[in-house]
Every structure is written in structure tokens, then in C-alpha cells.
Amino acid sequence: MPSSAAELRLSYAPIVQRVQPGVVNVFASKVIQNRNPLMEDPIFRRFFGGGGPQPEQMARSLGSGVMVDASGLVVTNNHVIEGADQVKVSLADKREFEAEVILKDSRTDLAVLKLKDTTDKFATLDFANSDDLLVGDVVLAIGNPFGVGQTVTHGIISALARTQVGITDYQFFIQTDAAINPGNSGGALVDVAGKLVGVNTAIFSRSGGSQGIGFAIPANMVRVVVASAKSGGKAVKRPWLGARLQAVTPEIAETLGLKLPNGALVASMTPGSPSARAGLKLSDLIVGINGIAVDDPNAFDYRFATQPLGGSAEVDVMRAGKPLKLTIPLEVAPDTGRDEIVIKSRSPFQGAKVANISPAVADEMRLDSSVEGVVVTELSDDAAAASVGFQKGDIILAVNGSKIAKTADLDKATKAGARLWRILLMRGGQQINVTLGG
């Protein structure tokens, strides 16, 4: 029998009290113009009037965030603030601040905000080393589910290195059964030492409510994004491999004489890239990095992307059945000649942001860098290009019979105007012919 109430009481309250001030609520809003397409017809306007401004609507989203620097840096999910005109951050002590988005990284679904007009010092959360986590470790999820106010749930690490979730480019998640609900996005997943082990990002359920499966972005990936924001970068700087990897299917494993379909197979290489200079070859099988085994390309991508720039990584490779160690320098992809522009001329491309396929663009957008063309990097919802069906990642190869090798070629082709637009594009590795009216 316990001799006192103190012996009986097991509580997470001390951890929660220490951590709560560093978890914030994030409110994002954007103005949506209610456009009636009929009002664009001058005859309709003449007979029915109403050519004035259309009513506006406010779209609001709610999420959570984590204070990662005492000067007022907050990390949250990119999808919480995507497209927002105004972002506000509310602290646990009820203070509210306007915030500016200083870095967005759609590849990890993370964004970093900076609180405006304040010189205060704020309570922060320290990063844990998420590689030290074990299945069964106790964790607490803190956020603002359903906008009810700051809430704490607890559970355990259900699984690590979940790579088949399909939420972001870097698919390597911590899975937990701590209840995560809408509004928790961007909130903290902390260990029993009160350190940040991950940023809650998604729930797996049919109803939209928690059913015991939630996912968090590991702290080691969050750390990379925050470090880029602190160094004043507008984009996250990551090591560049310069090779495209594919998963090992059971059939490929049999062909290679492998017992298990594990590892990442080198499918293509960029000449002069770090991997090419290190001696990596087509059909090499990558099975580990810095002594840690990798089961598939997603696991390798995460491990490689979280390496510090400037040094090198030792990669374990199987080549023709023999083990090999290669040293790959950790450097960023060259970003020369991106020449990003927004197409303004009246055409099916109007409103699309396009760029040349530099090594950095190819790396960011998971494209084959050997393809010559111009890639759509961004589309606003109200762009003509979005309404005719263009998608981010489409590569424009030719317009009306003219080859499109650079953004200047596309700009010129759209300025020329046409009644009929014959477009050759590549989407998901497939070439598509499209004909659109002018």
C-alpha cells in the first residue's frame, strides 16, 4: 500500500506547466472575392446591373504552433497559413500578436513565423534528438483542437519512420496514439523531459476526429527548417544528392538476389552532382547512411536531408552484390539560371509562376534534371492557368510548335497571342498534348 498521496500520484502536470507557455495558437485569414462569372459579360451587366465590387468573404483557418526562439520565432504547419493575408498568434497567457511568415517549406509542410512589433523574450521549447525515440515512449500532444483552447493529450510512440503516409515530400513520420484533432496541426509533441520531439501534422481518420492514429514531423527535420529561417534564408537549404532513387519491389529484390526488398535503388544521376562525384552509379543499391540502415527511398531522403551542410555523409552501397562505402559531400544544389517569372499575357498560362529547371528547382520539385523545359512552380487559385487545369509541377515543353527551353521562350510565346493553343507538356513523367481555345 502507498504510505502517502504523494507516492500514489503520478502526474504529467510539472512537464505541462513547463511546456505550455511555448505552445501557441495560430489564426490565419484570407479575403475571398465572391466573383460571379456572369458579371464579366458586358451585356449581362448592362441589363442586370451590378458591375460594382462583389461581396468579400473571410476564410479563416486555425492551427497551433511552437515557439522555437525567444525573440518570437514560431514554427507551424505550412497548410495552416498557406495563402493567408493575415496571421495572428495567441500565446498561452492570452497575449495576441500579428505575425509575418518568414519562411515556407511545402516539402515538409512547415512554416516559420516571426511575431511583429515586440522586443519581449518568450518561453521556448528545446529540441529533442528525434532519432533517440523508441516505440513505446510516452509523449504528450499540446495544441488547440477544434479551437476550444489549449489542450493536452497523452499517449505513446506507436511507430517510427512511417514512410507511406503521403502527406509531404519528406515522408518520415512519428506515429502516436496521443489524441490529435483538427486545430492541433502545428502543435507540439513532447517527451517526458518536456523537449520537442515532433510537430503534429495530421490525423488518420474517416470522421476527421482522432481515432488513435496521428502523425508528427520529427524534431530533427523541424530543426533544419528553423535553422534556415534563423540564417535569414527564404528557402530551406538542404544537401543535394543529385540522383533519383526508386523503391525495391519484391521482383527487383529477386533479380538482385536480395533476401528482403529493402534499400533505395539509384534510377538516374545528374552529371557533376555530389553523388556522381562520389562515385555512385546507376543500379547501385543504397542500404545505409552514416551507419543507419535505410529501408526505402523515403527513409534515405529524410536521413540525407537532415545532415548538416558543409561536411560529408558516408553511404553504404551494394554494387553487384558487394558492399561498398562512398563519401558524399553535403552541399546545396546550384540555383543558377532559375529565372522565375509570372506569365501576365492573356493566354492559358496567365497567372502561372514558371521557372527554368535548374538543379535546385529539379531537387525541390522532384523532377528529372535532364528534362529541358519550363516548370510551373506556383499557381494562385484565381489564375487563368489554374482554371484551365494546369498544375504545379507541369513541365511545358512546346507551345504552338515552338520549343520552350527557358522562361523567356514561354513569355515570348504568350505575348504573341493565338486563337488556338497547342501545348506539349509533361506531367508525372508522361507527355501530354493539350489544345485550348484562345
Write out the three cell numbers for 390: 494546369
Looking from the CA of 434 toward its CB, the CA atoms found within 13 Å total 24
Structural domains of the chain in order of their starting residue, each with its CATH number: 15-236 (2.40.10.120), 243-329 (2.30.42.10), 341-437 (2.30.42.10)
Contact 213/177 with Cβ under 8 angstroms? Answer: yes
Report the pLDDT averaged over residues 80-105.
87
Of 309, 406, 392, 310, which is closest to residue 357 (Cα–Cα)? 406
Would the pTM count as exceeding 0.75?
no
What tens digit of pLDDT does each residue of 189-217 get? Answer: 999 889 999 998 865 544 455 456 788 88
Q: How far apart are alpha carbons 303 and 200 in whole angstroms?
A: 19
Q: In Å, what is the CA distance from 408 to each residue of 288, 331, 342, 360?
A: 42, 29, 11, 19
**Residue 344, Ramachandran bin (φ over 0: left; ψ between -120 and 50: alpha; else beta):** alpha
What tens digit of pLDDT does each residue of 62-88 get? Answer: 788 999 999 989 999 988 888 788 899
Banded model confidence at residue 339, pLDDT cuts 50, 70, 90? confident
Write out the three cell numbers for 388: 484551365
Backbone φ and ψ for 363, nearest 5 degrees, come out as -70, -45
Q: How far apart are alpha carbons 180 and 189 in whole angstroms?
A: 10
Could you list the active site residues?
Answer: 79, 109, 185
